[in-house]
A and B are shown apart, each in its own frame.
Chain A
Amino acid sequence: DTAVSQTPKYLVTQMGNDKSIKCEQNLGHDTMYWYKQDSKKFLKIMFSYNNKELIINETVPNRFSPKSPDKAHLNLHINSLELGDSAVYFCASSPLAAREDTQYFGPGTRLTVL
């Protein structure tokens, strides 16, 4: 049983295009996250939703727009892709948004912008 799934696994696209990454969790968790992992392997939070409400919105260009249609899904839409957007994007979920919460990560989406 897949706990946190993301599609697609790989995404190769041209600069200037718009693309979306989808995420679903079947753990019944209330909170979902998007992270970006750059080439230096740093994992940085981008957004967090709790029960479909945005609770964390890091300093991310407005070209990135998350959408949570329900608490099991969190999608990431990126407009006007740039070379610097190339990275691995991870979706994650946790039961609540508490400081003891462990997070469950998806397999990642490797985005390459040419």
Chain B
Amino acid sequence: SQKIEQNSEALNIQEGKTATLTCNYTNYSPAYLQWYRQDPGRGPVFLLLIRENEKEKRKERLKVTFDTTLKQSLFHITASQPADSATYLCAYYNQGGKLIFGQGTELSVKP
């Protein structure tokens, strides 16, 4: 079955460092991958979308890569800040039109 796997372990980093989160997918080749941020007690908020023909997408301190050979997307936050602490979810639409989410990676940025 189609699956998205993200690091289930929390990622703890120091303020100012670059956070790198991984999203691996199997049994399907999505044309687009999306990344969302979820804060405790809130709904997910869309951050970035990357297409299969784009190797990289940037938005301010965020960068997403999409490697269709490795079936992997990497999400980077440069110059991380405590305010970046949240759970980050990757997702894609499957052929049935459903948005499939990974379980998310919790990021904690310490001052």
Interface, chain A (partner B; CB < 8 A): 4, 33, 40-45, 48, 55-56, 58, 90, 92, 97, 99-108
Contacts and interface: CB of A to CB of B under 8 A. Distances in A.
Given A55-B97, A99-B97, A41 B103 contact: yes
Contacts, number: 50
B32 A99 contact: yes
Nearest to A91: B43
Contact of A107 (B43, B49, B89): B43
A73 to B, nearest CB: 17
Interface in B79-111: 87, 89, 93, 96-99, 101, 103-104
B46 interface: yes
Interface in B31-54: 31-32, 34, 41-46, 49
A105 B89 CA distance: 13
B103 A97 contact: no
Interface residues of B, number: 21
Nearest to B89: A43
Interface of B: 30-32, 34, 41-46, 49, 87, 89, 93, 96-99, 101, 103-104
Contacts of B44: 43, 90, 103, 105
B43 A92 contact: yes
A97 B97 contact: yes
B97 A108 contact: no
Contacts of B45: 105
A42 B11 CA distance: 18
A15 to B, nearest CB: 25
B109 to A, nearest CB: 19
A108 B42 contact: yes
